[in-house]
Amino acid sequence: MTPTATGFAPTTTPLHTHTGPAIEITGRMGPRYDEILTPEAVAFLAELHHRFSGRRHDRLADRMRTRYEIGNGRDPKFRDDTAHIREDAEWQVAGAGPGLEDRRVEITGPTDPKMTINALNSGAKVWLADQEDATSPTWKNVIEGQLSLFDAIRGRLTFTSPASETAPGKEYRVTAERTPTIVMRPRGWHLVEKHIRYTDRAGRDFAASGSLVDFGLYFFHNAKQLIANGRGPYFYIAKLESSEEARLWDEIFTFSEEYVGIPHGTIRATVLIETLPAAFEMEEILFELRDHIAGLNAGRWDYIFSMIKNYRGRGARFVLPDRSQVTMTVPFMRAYTELLVKTCHKRGAFAIGGMSAFIPNRRDPEVTERAFEKVAADKKREAGDGFDGTWVAHPDLIPVAQAEFDAVLGDRPNQVDRQRPEVDVQAEQLLDVHIGLPITAEGVHGNVSVAVRYIEAWLRGLGAVAIDNLMEDAATAEISRSQVWQWIHQDRETEDGTRITREYVEGLLARVLGEVDRFEGDRFDDAAEVFREVALRDEFPAFLTLTAYAKHLVDAD
């Protein structure tokens, strides 16, 4: 029997009830799925969708209008209608909740049992439990990720690796005395959950919102237990594009707190500033979420993707060179991060830096040493700029990153009190993409190779993928395919004078398929088709994951 729900679950706070809207679970029910998809939890999802799904669609329509306007020559700017918010020096945000006072090193990763245990044993201050870009949203990953978190929060998560012919399975468990504070990242507003259907009062049937499903199930089951553990229900909010989207999340938080009977402001969010429109509304986003927000994060890979996406048709001056050359020190990235730190500290919020995704290569110590030097330099720059913490993707990077933040912070948990009055970022600086470096044949090939290899793994249910000594997630594939699309449509050439055409890229695609190690059950042919759909056609899909999820992502039995 599949769970369904209408109306409200019982709650300690009396709320108005209604009839009509319903949630239906159409996905296969696996072991223990009923512990997550309880009637009460499903009823909560129904109520979230009844109250907020229509406004989600409105905000997605706003995004389309913004992209259309930028594409037609209207650059984003700091808003005149919200100037009073930026000019009011008095208001401050809620700031850190319990367990979030010191965030100097945060580890990121998906929520499968083994990765959950590794993260909780890592020694990081915070774990970004990622149901978004580091998770391929198969039904199994979505629900079993919730189970991993459910068990971990209650101190009972274990994992046994499969046994082989020569060795028994190995058991993994959480052994750290102090585990990182969990900050869970639900899927962005654009993604749906096709295994859950929502029927509104008018009888219209929709796929459920991935955001509301991920947030709702985690919050409903774990909020009170997290509070009892001395922490709280904390969330990373991805891919926001406006303060109106932030206001929607704030109202969801307020409603949810009331629904389960916990104090207003218990939820803490950290918003990733990883879209170009959001960079122009940082203060407004903080203001709308001021009762619930702890800080902002510089989501740098998605930010580069957003820049390409919005300016992909605006001419040669908005074309970026090889992905490897778009570093944090190029003009538009430098302006964006400087503004983020100043804005956060002005309002009492944490500023969290970007990802270092290197995976130590134990067979090549020299490669690892050089990479560690680059990571240390990156984290030294962030700590010196005023960031309060940073991200890493591998436990071995934690000491490297922490040493640089320790050198600046000392015994202080953060440097929120450090203001940046010398920073004065203008709109044109956020749009200064001039780098002055060429596109190389190696860069084009690298983009095709990384995108295809990542998409192939994603279609098999892997969202965090080791590629060329880096832990990659969907953002890298998005940058890679977007650059290829833009180079083709802007009639660009490589450094040696070769035009980047569809035919040229098709040749590279064939080359990549010949270079990879094929295996039984691989999805490389499907990955190549997804790549063609998102990089080689006239249309530009807003997210490759939308195309891949709708047409190609199939749960294995």
Q: Is the pLDDT of residue 486 over 70?
A: yes
pLDDT of residue 15: 35
Is residue 9 scored above 70 in pLDDT?
Answer: no
Question: Taking 60 as the threshold, does the pLDDT of residue 519 lie above it?
Answer: yes
Question: 354 by DSSP, 3-state: which?
Answer: strand
pLDDT at 556: 58
Distances (CA, A) of 119 to 60, 110, 181, 338, 515: 33, 9, 10, 29, 33
C-alpha 247/C-alpha 495 separation (Å) is 46
Instruction: Give residue 361's pLDDT.
Output: 87
What pLDDT sits at residue 7? Answer: 36
Distance separating alpha carbons of residues 444 and 158, to the nearest angstrom: 43
Q: Look at 134-143, 213-222, 543-552 and tell me which has the smallest mean pLDDT.
A: 543-552
All structural domains of the chain with their residue ranges? 7-429, 438-551
Phi and psi based region of residue 324 (left: phi greater than 0; alpha: psi -120 to 50; beta: remaining) = alpha
Q: Is 185 a catalytic site residue? A: yes
- pLDDT, mean over the chain: 94
pLDDT at position 505 over 80: yes
Share of the chain above pLDDT 70, in %: 96
pLDDT per residue over 467-479, tens digit each? 999 999 999 999 9
Catalytic choice (59, 103, 185, 187): 185
Q: Which of 323, 335, 271 is nearest to 450 (CA)?
A: 323
Decide: helix, strand or coil at residue 299: coil
pTM for the predicted model, two decimal places: 0.95
Q: With contact defined as beta carbons under 8 Å apart, do 533 and 541 qualify?
A: yes
Average pLDDT over residues 282-290: 98
Superfamily designation of domain 438-551: Malate synthase, domain III (1.20.1220.12)
* 7-429 and 438-551 agree in CATH topology: no
- Of 250, 302, 473, 526, the catalytic one is 473
Handedness of CA 55, 310, 76, 211 (dihedral sign): positive
Q: What is the mean pLDDT of residues 29-37?
A: 97
Which is the CATH superfamily of the domain at 7-429?
Malate synthase, domain 3 (3.20.20.360)
Minimum mean pLDDT among 6-15, 102-111, 115-124, 518-527: which range? Answer: 6-15
The pLDDT score that the predictor gives to residue 8 is 33
Q: Per-residue DSSP letters for 447-481?
A: HHHHHHHHHHHHHTT-SSEEETTEEE-HHHHHHHH
